[in-house]
Structure 1
Amino acid sequence: MKKRFFGPLILAAVLFIGILLVPNAWLSQLIPQDKLQKSATGLDPGMFQGLYLQEEMLKDPTYLPIYGSSELSRFDPYHPSNYFHENPQGFTPYLIGKGGSQSLIHAMNFAAHMDQLKGKKLVFIVSPQWFVKWGSDEQHFAPNYSALQALDLAYNQKIDPSVKKELIKRIMHFKAVKNDMVITELFKAELSGNQMAFNAISPIAKTYYGMLQKKDMYYTIGSSSERTLRPSPSVKGKSWAELEKEASKLGAEKAGDNPFYVDQKLFERNLKPIMTKMKGARKNYSYAESPEYKDFQLMLDILKQAGAKPLFVTIPVNGDWYDHTGFPIEGRTTFYKKINRQIRDNGFELADLTSHEYDPYFFKDTIHVSYKGWVHIDKAIEQFYKEQ
């Protein structure tokens, strides 16, 4: 009985150790050649939280990374992945982000890829709803948090020490980090400057880091996340004025007669049942004050130090819906002015679309751009990419 019990355990241990000892260079040979291309629109959380695929993408000049959050999954003929498929400009959009991917998540990701960001053009879409008064919360942070990128941060000697410490302090507020004893102890030693404690925990931490790297590699080999694009020939070779007109027509067809100019199916399912309840319910809300501004600044500092060349796109909210909920106009316009000033003061390029709050068919729902919104973003991306 004992032999039968211990035999499988010993075999499992040997296999596990063998898997960890396989060199990453060997594993990279097993990754399908079209993996990078397929992952460009896959919106795969495993890719966001890993390192390998993003490193490969950033080294490839044919990809233009677009960072953001849940708006990236709102596909229609004018979505950048579809639009630039039909109107190639020398690059392929590479989408990075999902719901809850806010400034801290992106800051950790950028820190882990500082070497590949120098001189790299990228697009970053800023969402107003990140800037609620409590900032990022556990519900949004935890599913997007990467222990691999957190460990990379601990050993990152290139990031400005003061920025590094502030970023570590900030992410240590979250249970996803605090519940990981190895990372917590490593961060505590880093913050206190206790090199002896840092060195003591490092052998365990580096083994953990190696395991997560292997997990990233094996996941990259085995994952099959892929999105089948449905680009429309109708967007090919049109002027921006023609595209905006066509996008408005498609938006009108999708929206029907609802008062917020959003997708009718979404309206019937999500908004109509709560219209009475939500009327005036957010009269005390504002995006003017939030911890997110400091988190956003940490991300800007990392991009500056890395020498990246980002275009920031600031988008509005659906003004008609926000008025219905009583959300004060001042609480939105103050945010628009504040975030735009913050971006410009840091020397980065800005595409300010915040004046489109009340544009019909600019949104798919109450916050996510679509139809006309994507047309304006496509135009900004194309102009930015062609700049010398």
Structure 2
Amino acid sequence: MFKKLGLIFGPVILAFVLVFSIIMLVPESSHVKQNFNEEQRAANALTPTVFKSQKLKQQALSDAKHRFVPFFGSSEWNRMDSFHPSVMAEAYNRPYRPFLLGQRGAQSLTQYFGMQQITSQMRDKQAVFVISPQWFIKPGENSDAFKYYFNQAQALTWLQKDKSTTADRYAAKRLLEMNVSSSLNKYLEKVAAGKKLSSTDLTKIALKLRFLNHEDTLFANLQIGNNYKKNILPKTQNLPEIYNENRLNKLADCYAKKNTTNNKFGIQNTFYKKRISAQVGEIKGSQKNVNYLQSPEYGDLQLVLQQFAQTHTNVLFVIQPINEKWAKYTGLNTHMYQQAVGKIKHQLTSQGFTNIADFSTDGNKKHFMQDTIHLGWRGWLAFDKKVDKFLTTKQPTPVYNIRNKYYTESWMMNPYED
């Protein structure tokens, strides 16, 4: 009987041991080898693989010869028209290249844990962080979206550092609420309760993290695609050879007019046809009860701010507008929306984050929005102007003053009056 079981399960066990051994034998130092073509591909891939990978992010962001800057956000990076920040940087040979870190449904909590993999690469550097007020709904970040973009290595890296602050307890509670992995729960419960991890805990964490990092080093390059060649390089041919703001704005108007002919909202034709037209009648008035003033997202944003302060990262925050015609049609309370923007800006500026590109009042400008909530055409050009100035001119060294009050229920779940 044992011989039969051995014949059945033996090869499986042997294969597992062999795979484990191969993965563990891959040198961890390989993640620092520079390969510019590979880095360009990763920076524009916009895939969950890159979003989760420590190796790919560290490789590009540590390249001393090529300045990749992390651009944190969500689904806006997928709006790749000819005026997209990656296209503009490439076309006009900017001294930086955006490393796009965003996916549909990704919000502050996702970005915070992703940052744990690149803290060294963020230290004393610059970053761009796009905030969308529609993140700030009462349930906060969707747990399914969070789990889709989450990598256990992010949490294990985070757990290796001393965990004794208000921010640590808050982050552990939020991760438990997301229900990402039962294998992490015992560690997270300790941190959430203000308890120290034991030496045995830390040994197990280090071993598991080592395996995952080796696995990342071995397999990360296999699934990054080539968005750079397909969607970035070709679009540079559509732009004037020499940067000219007036010509670019006229060109943006031209593209926008051609691509917003099937609806009254100024929304891109393809987006309107695929996502809206079939249900446009049902959507009317559907956002009249939406509230962006009460949300755990304010606490999640505070984690991001705390991380930027720890790494002394100088950040430009970009606040996205909402298509004004769409807002009126769906009944969104624009006064409430501006109150939420004010609440977000207060949380930023009161702690020293004063670099803010606030486009929240520009949702009524022609050809500024590509769809209901995302920049496009003229909006991207306005974005590019702010970002380029921030990243290419000398900026004052920020002085941050992090306050734990932004983790409290009284801040997160109460209205805000300026």
TM-score by length of 2: 0.85
Letter in 1 for 2:86: S
Letter in 2 for 1:99: R
CA distance in 1, matches of 2:285, 2:29: 60
Residue 375 of structure 2 corresponds to 369
CA distance in 2, matches of 1:82, 1:34: 16
Letter in 1 for 2:270: K
Residue 324 of structure 1 corresponds to 329
Residue 187 of structure 1 corresponds to 188
Shift of 1:331: 1.9
Shift of 1:202: 3.5
Q: Secondary structure at the match of 2:361?
A: helix
1:334 has 2:370 as partner = no
CA distance in 2, matches of 1:167, 1:273: 40
Q: Which moved more, 1:198-207 or 1:14-23?
A: 198-207
CA contact (8 A) 2:70 2:100 kept: yes
Q: Which moved more, 1:104-113 or 1:368-377?
A: 104-113
Shift of 1:57: 2.1
1:293 has 2:301 as partner = no
Q: Which moved more, 1:348-357 or 1:2-11?
A: 2-11
Q: Secondary structure at the match of 2:250?
A: helix
Post-superposition CA distance 1:311-364 (Å, at most 9, x none)? 111111111111101111112111222222322222221111112111122222
CA distance in 1, matches of 2:94, 2:200: 51
CA contact (8 A) 2:168 2:192 kept: no
Letter in 2 for 1:386: T
Letter in 2 for 1:217: T
1:166 has 2:177 as partner = no
CA distance in 1, matches of 2:146, 2:22: 30
CA distance in 1, matches of 2:191, 2:142: 24
Letter in 2 for 1:188: E
Post-superposition CA distance 1:213-266 (Å, at most 9, x none)? 122112224334220222233243233233222212211110015211011122
Aligned pairs, how many? Answer: 383
CA distance in 2, matches of 1:204, 1:82: 44
Percent identity over the alignment is: 26
Shift of 1:55: 1.6
Q: Which moved more, 1:139-148 or 1:8-17?
A: 8-17
1:71 has 2:81 as partner = no
Letter in 2 for 1:387: T
CA distance in 1, matches of 2:153, 2:105: 18
CA distance in 1, matches of 2:259, 2:11: 58
Cα RMSD, aligned residues only: 2.2
CA contact (8 A) 1:189 1:198 kept: no
Letter in 2 for 1:209: L
1:350 has 2:351 as partner = no
Structure 1: segments with no counterpart, 5+ residues: none
Structure 2: segments with no counterpart, 5+ residues: 395-418
CA distance in 2, matches of 1:383, 1:224: 30
Q: Which moved more, 1:235-244 or 1:131-140?
A: 235-244
**Which of 111, 123, 130 is matched with 2:116 structurally?**
111
Q: Secondary structure at the match of 1:66?
A: strand
TM-score by length of 1: 0.92
Residue 179 of structure 2 corresponds to 175
Residue 365 of structure 2 corresponds to 359
Letter in 2 for 1:242: R
CA distance in 1, matches of 2:247, 2:356: 24
CA distance in 1, matches of 2:314, 2:306: 13
**Which of 243, 251, 275 is matched with 1:246 structurally?**
251
Residue 139 of structure 1 corresponds to 144
Q: 1:36 to 1:203 in 2, by over 3 A?
A: same
Residue 39 of structure 1 corresponds to 42
1:15 has 2:18 as partner = yes
